[in-house]
Amino acid sequence: MSDKAQLIDLLQKIAQADETAYRQFYEFTSPRIYGITLRMLKRRDWAEDVTQEAYVRVWYHAGEYHNGRGAPLTWLISIARNLAIDKLRSQAVRDADDTQEPDALMSALPGPFNASMDTQTQLLLQGCMGELSEAQRTSIFLSFFEGLSHQQITTRLGEPLGTIKSWVRRGLQSLRRCLER
């Protein structure tokens, strides 16, 4: 059984309140999720809190996962990423004084979530990502959000290097066309 199929099966069992499946899901995915949140937040305590909250959400919302929308790991990563962004935003607000501009608060966010990308552009990018094939979306996500090399993606997905490069290149071309519309 592939990792994706195994995670789908575990999520279905978690939706039925299966604690053993939840434990297996956690053990299989938590190192990756913690690594992502730690890279985003750069503080162990925040990363631990956000990772824990992500798994609490998995427990309560496993039944909301839909296989057609993407891989289970992509779903989980998006939950953790959104929680990490929320954490950064809330911390930026706490640290900001009353005279600070909203753009300055947004600049505290890492990577593509900074002040140079407004909310409308972020929503457009998310919509365009949704138009990609699952393979392209996953490859781009692993490359740009997890920072994996093409060779590492090859190992993770079990696909040939040329295939991974094609998925990333074609996915980026599709994103460019979509964003230029």
**What pLDDT, in 10s, does the model give residues 145-160?**
778 889 989 888 888 9
115 against 176, higher pLDDT:
176
pLDDT of residue 12: 94
* Integer Cα distance of 74 and 4 in angstroms: 10
Q: If you ran DSSP here, which 8-state letter would residue 62 be given?
A: G
Overall average pLDDT of the 29-47 stretch: 90
CA distance 126 to 129: 5
In this prediction, residue 10 carries a pLDDT of 94
pTM: 0.52
Note the pLDDT of residue 98: 38
The whole-number pLDDT of residue 114 equals 44
| pLDDT exceeds cutoff 90 at 121 | no
Provide, rounded to the nearest whole percent, the portion of the chain with pLDDT above 70: 82
- Supply the pLDDT for residue 62: 92
Q: Please give the C-alpha separations between residue 88 and each of 23, 50, 108, 113, in angstroms, as whole numbers.
A: 28, 11, 7, 11
DSSP one-letter string for 71-83:
-HHHHHHHHHHHH
The residues near 4 (Cβ < 8 Å, ≥ 6 apart) are 71, 72, 73
Judged by average pLDDT, the poorest of 43-47, 53-57, 114-118, 122-126 is: 114-118
Statement: residue 128 has pLDDT above 90: no
Which residue has better confidence, 94 or 125?
A: 125
List, in order of start, the domains of the chain with CATH numbers. 1-114 (1.10.1740.10), 118-181 (1.10.10.10)
Report the mean per-residue pLDDT for the chain.
81
